[in-house]
Structures are given as structure tokens and as C-alpha cells.
Amino acid sequence: MKNTTPIIPVSEPECQVKSWKNLLKNAITTTDALLAAVDLQANQLGYEITEDSGFSLRVPQPYIDKIKSGDPLDPLLLQVLTQKQELEEVTGYNRDPLQENNNQTPGLLHKYQGRVLLILASACAVNCRYCFRRHFPYQDQMASGDQLSQSLQYIAADTSISEVILSGGDPLMVSDRALVSLFDRLDAIPHLKRVRIHSRLPVVIPQRLTPTFVDRLSSSRLTTSMVLHINHANEIDKLLIEHLAPLRLAGIQLLNQSVLLKQVNDNLPTLKALSESLFDAGILPYYLHLLDKVAGAAHFDVSTQQAVALIQSLREQLPGYLIPRLAVEEAGKPSKTVIA
């Protein structure tokens, strides 16, 4: 190339960090701002909303960009807008449906053989209205500093553990610096084989998948995978696909788990489009979860019977590798229960 004008090196990691942290900081947190952003007025919705649901509204701009303007029933909007129905008390729905609020080592859940869940962060970039952890006392469950060291000691002492699952809150809420240091420590535990990251953050802020993060993941000696939490094909846009590409190139297995949600994805065309769009983006469908019966989320419930029928119809229309396992989490069981 002729043009050899020296280019002033831009500190790429630095601007990447700024961009995702800014998007996080500037997330919308009020119903007024959210409705304005999607060009709706409260009286056009056909349902009531509340500012005071006990689990705050929180949604970053890149996710808002995927919501269709002017549609009160947009499947993405329904996942983030605080409806008054959340305040209704419904029999069978309680605050800790998985009875997870009783683990011995804070920040570590060892329920399933060979796998431990490391709870890295106390919060999420988005507050999904159906979240089973909406009443979870995160502050007590955070793995940081001494707690993290304790958890890592626990993992190092138990040679039956082969996989560490980074979870939360959302594990990608922590800084790249902290993740790099954590990977250094995990790589050094000889009996570990795999590390898996469960995150919804890339779906709401794709810019979170920084080069620093992807590089550290791909240089790990452990086999790494990432389970995204995508519930609808509209959540997969160009920005997300672009930011997932480096992970795919690095050979990191991309999987997805969804929650089956009334009015959001509880019909055949939507589930079919979801599986197909996931695959186009290099992601394999893994689990489709039945809703955990958490207080405040009853309006999202889909019956088991309907869920099984949906999966059966999906199986008639798609190849086997595009069918997620329909699963439910039952307190006290040694694994998730696959029902179809």
C-alpha cells in the first residue's frame, strides 16, 4: 500500500470497555422512558403497567433497538416492561422456587454431579420480568474476593468436578480484568476440563463480547462453551451476529437456552423461527425451559401439556439438531428434568 501515513494507534480494548459499560450505565430504567423509546403511550397498551414492581425495570439501548415501535404486544417488549400483573399473588408461585437460597459456600452451587455453578455477579444488564431470581438475595451470593477464593479452593479440592459454569446474575457483568484473572485460576486446576458461561448480556449489549474477553476464552486450556439466553428470533440481529463471529472462529461452542413464555414464544412459527435463526447465527438450541414458578411471573406461564405438544410439532418440522430439550428445574433433583 502506498499510503503509509502513520495511524495513531487507538487503544481498542479501552474504547470497547467504554462502549459496553456506557451502554450498561445508560440503560433505561423507567416505564416512561421505555414507552417513549418504542413510540407508545400507556393508554395504547391494553394492559396496565407499574413503576413499583419490587424488581426494577432495566433495559439497555441495543435491546430496545430490536423492539418494534408502536406494538404493545412486541415479544421483546413484553419481556422487559413491568406489568401490574406482576403484583398479583398467585397460588403455587413463590419467591424461591428452586430453593437455591441455602447453599453452603456462598457464591457456589454444587447441585449436579461433576458440575458447579459459580455465581460471579450480583446483577444483570437487563431485568427480565420472568426471572426466577427476581427475589434472590444477590448481595449474599456474590463470588468476589475471599468468597471467590473459597469457591476455587472448594473446586480444587474436589476432583469429581470437571466443569465450572459461570453464572449469576450475569457473569459477564464483571470486568474483563476479573474474568482474565479467573480464567488464569481455573486453568491452573488440573482436574477441570471444561468451562461454560451462561449469559444473556451479549443479547442485550453485543459489544460486551470484547476482543480481550474472546482472546482469553480462546487461549484457555479448558474446552469453553457459551450458553446464550435467547427467547425470540427478533433478539438475533446483525450486531449480535457480528459480535459472535470471533467466538465461532475461536472454536467456542455456542448453545442457547430459552424460557417458554406466554405471548412471547408459545407458538410453533415463533419456536421454529427461533431455532432456525439460532442455527444461522452459529448457535445450537440446547434447552427450552418451562417457567420457574416465581412470584410475579405467573402471567408468562405455559402449561406442560401445551409445551409438550409444541415440541412434538416442532419435531415434525425441523431436523433433530434444531430441537431444544424441553426441561424443567425441580428442587432437590440431581439434574434438570427433560420432559420432551
Ligand X SMILES: *Cc1c(COP(=O)(O)O)cnc(C)c1O
The one segment of 119-127, 219-227, 241-249, 285-293 that binds ligand SF4 by CB under 6 A: 119-127
φ and ψ at residue 85, rounded to 5 degrees: -55, -25
- Name the residue nearer to ligand SF4 (CB basis): 133 or 243: 133
Pick from 120, 128, 164, 327 the residue near ligand SF4 by CB under 6 A.
128
Pick from 38, 40, 124, 142 the residue near ligand SF4 by CB under 6 A.
124
Cell 495511524 -> residue: 7
CB of 270 to ligand SF4, least distance (A): 18
Binding residues among 249-278 for ligand SF4 as defined by CB under 6 A: none
SS3 track for 88-151: CCCCCCECCCCCCCCCCCCCEEEEECCEEEEECCCCCCCCCCCCCCCCCCHHHHCCCHHHHHHH
**Which 8-state DSSP code applies to residue 53?**
-
Residue 165 binds ligand X (CB under 6 A): yes
The one segment of 122-130, 152-160, 177-185, 281-289 that binds ligand SF4 by CB under 6 A: 122-130
Residue 109 binds ligand X (CB under 6 A): yes
Pick from 116, 117, 131, 148 the residue near ligand SF4 by CB under 6 A.
131
- The three-class DSSP label of residue 288 is strand
- Report the partner that residue 126 touches, choosing among ligand X, ligand SF4, none (CB closer than 5 to 8 A by kind): ligand SF4
Are 173 and 208 spatial neighbours (Cβ–Cβ below 8 Å)? no
Q: In angstroms, rounded to a whole number, what is the distance separating the alpha carbons of residues 161 and 191? A: 7
- Report the partner that residue 165 touches, choosing among ligand X, ligand SF4, none (CB closer than 5 to 8 A by kind): ligand X
The one segment of 11-19, 66-74, 106-114, 235-243 that binds ligand X by CB under 6 A: 106-114
Cβ neighbour number for residue 230 with a 10 Å cutoff:
23
Cell of 186: 481455573
- Name the residue nearer to ligand X (CB basis): 36 or 338: 338
Residue 200 binds ligand SF4 (CB under 6 A): yes
Are 301 and 86 spatial neighbours (Cβ–Cβ below 8 Å)? no
> Helices then strands (H, E): number in the chain?
12, 9
What is the DSSP track for 157-222? H-TT--EEEEESS-GGGS-HHHHHHHHHHHHT-TT--EEEEEESHHHH-GGGS-HHHHHHHHT-SS
φ and ψ at residue 198, rounded to 5 degrees: -100, 115
CB of 137 to ligand X, least distance (A): 17
Pick from 112, 138, 154, 279 the residue near ligand X by CB under 6 A.
112
The one segment of 86-94, 140-148, 263-271, 328-336 that binds ligand X by CB under 6 A: 328-336
Binding residues among 23-42 for ligand SF4 as defined by CB under 6 A: none
- The three-class DSSP label of residue 12 is helix
Strand partners, 225: 196, 253
Pick from 117, 126, 142, 271 the residue near ligand SF4 by CB under 6 A.
126
- Name the residue nearer to ligand SF4 (CB basis): 56 or 159: 56
Residue 336 binds ligand X (CB under 6 A): yes
| Interface with ligand X (CB under 6 A) | 109, 111-112, 115, 117, 165, 329, 335-336
| Interface with ligand SF4 (CB under 6 A) | 124, 126-128, 131, 133, 168, 170, 200, 229
